[in-house]
Amino acid sequence: MHYSNIEAIAVPKFELYGERALLPDVLHCETIADRSSLHGWAIQPHRHERLHQFLHVAEGTAYVKLEDRETTLHGPGVVNVPAGAVHGFRFSPETRGTVVTVPVEALDATIGACPMLATPAVVACEPQLAELFAAVADEFAATRPARTQCLSAMATLIAARVAGGIAPEIGGGDGSPLLRRFEALIEAHYRSHWRVADYAAALKVSTTHLSRVCRAETGAGASRVIELRLMKEARRLLAYSAHPVGRIAVDLGFVDPAYFTRAFTRSAGMTPSAFRARVAEGPAQSHHR
């Protein structure tokens, strides 16, 4: 099943899907059916600016959209949706599961220790993790003493368990502190087209050392890591905005749109216009897990 109706549009930003009010509790917990059954078991692509979500599919099938990738999840499994990540779902009717939504500030320490949580991912659900989701649902519905502290602790445990499932998939552990600082600088400056030398100077290391750490942690050199972040944003804008290619090129810091087209084609294997058309049509096949 594909999201063939996703043309180049602005991605809605919600607190919870369809709602724009601030999250009123330490976290939010609901069943998959609570919200998706009201929308034909489909949640259209959107994102949360300051919320991190964990979606547990206990039984049933979920067709998952994460950024520019689609996959099919046959429960049990868990979807990790970091703040800012574009995501959407289609569920088989009567899918059972739980959605836990946590303000990103509440997970700052955990994400700092487990940076892989910033990666949108689908992971296996071990019995202990399934029990944590059930415990959160039970505590969320209760009015027991220390409810806030219990929910906060369980959210941290869920995040840590999910991080453990993500790490093998992206080929890393906790990651290098230098790499995390490098990635933070990239977020701030990738539109300015900083060179590797600029980042190395800001980090007070040599370009050789920076590239060596990047290659050891990610399999790619520093320049490739920078390019991947820039092209990720290019794909996002092509897929989810109505801006013409020339405007997107300018937004991404390219002085010449033709240079952007060449850079994107070299990275993606197709022109920006061809990529946009392909997104509108839907991918040729889904990846099953």
Query: For residue 208, with 0-12 CB atoms within 10 Å meaning exposed, 13-18 middle and 19 or more buried, which class applies?
Result: exposed
Q: Domains of the chain by range and CATH?
A: 28-170 (2.60.120.280), 177-282 (1.10.10.60)
d(CA 270, CA 289): 27
The residue-averaged pLDDT of 197-220 equals 88
State whether residue 175 is helix, strand or coil: coil
Tokens 């330490």 correspond to 26
The residue-averaged pLDDT of 3-29 equals 52
Q: Give me the DSSP letters along 1-42.
A: ---TT--S-PPPB-SBTTB-SPP-SS-EEEEHHHHHGGGTTE
Residue 52 pLDDT:
93
Look at residues 12, 21, 84 and name the one whose alpha carbon lies nearest to residue 43: 12
pLDDT of 6 over the 70 cut: no
Sorted by sequence, the CB contacts under 8 Å of residue 253 that are 6+ apart come out as 190, 191, 192, 193
pLDDT digits (tens, 9 = 90+) for 147-175: 999 999 999 999 999 988 886 554 444 45
pLDDT of 233 over the 50 cut: yes
pLDDT of 14 over the 80 cut: no
- Asked if residue 233 lies in contact with residue 266, where contact means CB atoms within 8 angstroms, the answer is no
What pTM does this model have?
0.59
Q: Give me the DSSP letters along 222-245.
A: HHHHHHHHHHHHHHHHHHH----H
pLDDT digits (tens, 9 = 90+) for 50-105: 889 999 999 999 999 988 788 999 999 999 998 888 899 999 998 999 999 998 88
Residue 236: φ, ψ to 5°: -60, -45
Residue 268 pLDDT:
82
pLDDT of 265 over the 80 cut: yes
Give the pair of three-digit tokens for residue 158.
């869920």
Average model confidence (pLDDT) for the chain? 84
pLDDT of 227 over the 70 cut: yes
pLDDT digits (tens, 9 = 90+) for 133-149: 999 999 999 989 999 99
Residue 288: φ, ψ to 5°: -100, 145
Confidence at 289, pLDDT banded by 50, 70, 90: very low
